[in-house]
Amino acid sequence: MAKQIWRPGNMLYPLPVVMVSVADKAGNANIITVAWAGTICSDPAMVSISVRPERHSHQMLMETGEFVINLTTKDLAYATDYCGVKSGRDIDKFKEMKLTALPASQVSAPLIGESPVNIECKVTEVRKLGSHDMFMAEVVAVHADEKYMDDKGKFHLEWAEPIVYSHGTYFACGKQIGTFGYSVKKKK
């Protein structure tokens, strides 16, 4: 098997692509699209996002230390891309993309109503890493849209048709191929 050696780079793909909503102390809200997001701890529940210091949302994050991670879907793909390439310095992304800003329960940043899952976060640490600053945060509340719950109360994110990001391209998630532990599950 032939392999090429490339220069060091971020090749951990695909990634979740999320819309992060933020607000400043005056209540001005913005949305930034982030692909550098992930889980960093399960107990306590913690996540991280990485944002370039020159981005409009960076100053809001530094000012309030709060944000909401809003999961994205096939229906939100256009808005997801738009919110990543347009600056909140120039436009109101909620208005332009006809997104619903809902009040959060624990933070000042709004939820995006059209997102199937909204994760409220409070920053615990900021690490300046180079091109991006990493905002490590504790998850303080999670909102799940009831339309993706079955009659037994199980949440089905797959019904929302989530999307991922890979090297400049958005992809819809595919069909289920297994569940956690299926490789060691005892045969009946």
Residue 168 belongs to a domain with what CATH number?
A: 2.30.110.10
Position 175 scores a pLDDT of 85
User: Quick one: tokens of 155?
Assistant: 């949440």
79-109 residues labelled b (16+ CB within 10 A) or e (exposed)? bbebbbebebeeeebbeebebebbebeebbb
- Does any domain span residue 99? yes
Give the model confidence (pLDDT) of 21-51 as tens digits. 999 999 999 999 999 999 999 999 999 999 9
User: Which pLDDT band holds residue 187 (cuts at 50, 70, 90)?
Assistant: confident
Give the model confidence (pLDDT) of 119-155 as tens digits. 999 999 999 999 999 999 999 999 999 999 999 999 9
Q: Backbone phi, then psi, for 93, in 5-degree steps?
A: -65, -35
pTM of the model: 0.94
- Does any domain span residue 1? no
- Does any domain span residue 149? yes
Position 130, amino acid: G
* CA–CA separation, 128 and 130 (whole Å): 6
- 175 forms beta bridges with none
Domain containing residue 133? 15-172
Q: How many domains does the chain have?
A: 1
Which of 161, 159, 141, 163 has its CA nearest to residue 17? 163
Which of 132, 161, 111 has its CA nearest to residue 48? 132
